[in-house]
Amino acid sequence: MKKIERKILLNPGPSTTTDTVKYAQVVPDICPREKEFSSLFKGLREDLVKIVHGDPDTYTSVLFCGSGTINIDVCISSLLPEGKKILVVDNGNYSARAAEIAMYYGLPCIDLKFPITEQPDLAKVEETLKNNPDIAMVYTTYQETVTGLLNPAKELGALAHQYGAVFVCDTTSVYAMRPIHIEEENIDFLMASAQKGLMAFTGISFIIGRRSIIEASRDYPKRSYYCNLYLQYEFFERTGEMHFTPPVQTIYALVQAIKEYWQEGEEGKWARHTRVYNAINKGLEELGFRQLLPAEIRAGLVSSAVYPDDPNWNFDRLHDYCYERGYTIYPGFVSSANTFRLCSLGAIDEADIEAFFEVFKDALKACNIAVPVYYAEN
Ligand SMILES: *Cc1c(COP(=O)(O)O)cnc(C)c1O
């Protein structure tokens, strides 16, 4: 097996993969309706539930062919009964995307906005639930990937349930990294994609949720043909397969990635991501970078550094310098501040981050940016 040139991706997914996962895609051609392939789904669906400690009788997983956003589309369009309303607890771009999807489907939705640098005010969430008894779904993002902020999923789930709503949580940027206990954290539906925590490839995404609610959703309006949760679930339960052509090679790689997930173990993997995260924070701090969020409200996987005020600061030049040397850094896309992100996803460890900071220091020097970096305001 030829070794493939290793790239260190510090962007918020897709993540650096192992060569064994890359090569798992290279297989003889096969029709996905053959048992040899379709029999993979049973174990795969069970594993996806097991990763978040879900009871297999209570929770199930449903796969879709697409990037992570397909999950948001599916949950928003499939899980709302007629005449009911969605409440999006929105403190970042990914929750805002859910509100936008609701708008595209013409669904009643309260987009309850909070500052992107703060956890949501639970009293305001409760007040909104109290004033709108027709809210049937509360939606938020576990870690807002745009900032790295950790939302109080468990508390939001408890509030949703207290007011008779289903709690849907986008866990795409934490799943299979930071441990999640779906039921203990009051989550009815969560979601992720193969290319993030599981360190496989884009093209397959999955929703894990309560069977009883999916079954109840049989009678909800079907607002999409391809993206309906009940229809896909029903096909899986009846035939064991995806309704339409699955991404065969991507699924082989995912199965290999899950094997490697169990080998590393939940605890070992989270410890490794934490080592990477700590090394990133240490490296940023040594160079004098400020971070957008205080440590206490971060999920431990994304670091958002604020652009310094050095007149020579040029993110694109720094990016290109690092990229040419095998390291990918990523802009922030925060509207209220200029930031860039360094993320702790993927098959990387502390030593990769130390090597990255050597390159990054050279990049700062090449751009004539003073170190420690300079901020106009104290
Ligand atoms: C990455 C990510 C997604 C999926 O984005 P795609 O570009 O569609 O793969 C969804 N939600 C969150 C929180 C994410 O971090």
Q: What is the mean pLDDT of the chain?
A: 97
Distance 342 CA to ligand 1 centre (A): 16
pLDDT band, residue 294 (cuts 50/70/90): very high
Testing ligand 1's pocket by substitution, the residue of 9, 89, 145, 175 carrying the most ligand atoms inside 8 A of its CB is 145
Q: Which domains does the chain have, with CATH numbers?
A: 26-263 (3.40.640.10), 266-366 (3.90.1150.10)
pTM: 0.97
pLDDT band, residue 377 (cuts 50/70/90): confident
pLDDT in tens, 186-223: 999 999 999 999 999 999 999 999 999 999 999 999 99
Cβ-contact 233, 49 below 8 angstroms: no
Residue 319: the pLDDT is: 97
Asked if residue 335 has pLDDT above 80, the reply is no
Residue 1: the pLDDT is: 84
Testing ligand 1's pocket by substitution, the residue of 94, 146, 168, 204 carrying the most ligand atoms inside 8 A of its CB is 94
pLDDT band, residue 334 (cuts 50/70/90): confident
Residue 42: the pLDDT is: 97
pLDDT in tens, 245-288: 999 999 999 999 999 999 999 999 999 999 999 999 999 999 99
The arithmetic mean of pLDDT across residues 314-326, rounded, is: 97
Q: Which residues, judged by CB distance below 6 Å to any ligand atom, belong to the binding site of ligand 1?
A: 12-13, 67-69, 94, 141, 145, 170, 172-173, 193
Distance 371 CA to ligand 1 centre (A): 34
Testing ligand 1's pocket by substitution, the residue of 170, 206, 207, 341 carrying the most ligand atoms inside 8 A of its CB is 170
The arithmetic mean of pLDDT across residues 160-168, rounded, is: 98
pLDDT band, residue 333 (cuts 50/70/90): confident
Asked if residue 311 has pLDDT above 80, the reply is yes
Distance 12 CA to ligand 1 centre (A): 9
Asked if residue 378 has pLDDT above 80, the reply is no
pLDDT in tens, 221-232: 999 999 999 999
Asked if residue 174 has pLDDT above 90, the reply is yes
pLDDT in tens, 99-113: 999 999 999 999 999
Q: Determine what percent of the chain is predicted with pLDDT higher than 70.
A: 100
Residue 223: the pLDDT is: 98
Residue 131: the pLDDT is: 98
Distance 22 CA to ligand 1 centre (A): 21
Asked if residue 26 has pLDDT above 80, the reply is yes
The arithmetic mean of pLDDT across residues 319-341, rounded, is: 93
Distance 312 CA to ligand 1 centre (A): 32
Retrieve residue 197's tokens.
Answer: 């925590």
Q: What is the SS3 assignment for the chain?
A: CCCCCCCEECCCCCCCCCHHHHHCCCCCCCCCCCHHHHCHHHHHHHHHHHHCCCCCCCEEEEEEEECCHHHHHHHHHHCCCCCCEEEEEECCHHHHHHHHHHHHCCCCEEEEECCCCCCCCHHHHHHHHHHCCCEEEEEEECEECCCCEECCHHHHHHHHHHCCCEEEEECCCCCCCCCCCCCCCCCCEEEEECCCCCCCCCEEEEEEEEHHHHHHHHHCCCCCCCCCHHHHHHHHHHHCCCCCCCCHHHHHHHHHHHHHHHHHCHHHHHHHHHHHHHHHHHHHHHCCCCECCCHHHECCCEEEEECCCCCCCCHHHHHHHHHHCCEECEECCCCCCCEEEEECCCCCCHHHHHHHHHHHHHHHHHCCCCCCCCCCCC
Residue 230: the pLDDT is: 98
pLDDT in tens, 114-149: 999 999 999 999 999 999 999 999 999 999 999 999
Residue 164: the pLDDT is: 98
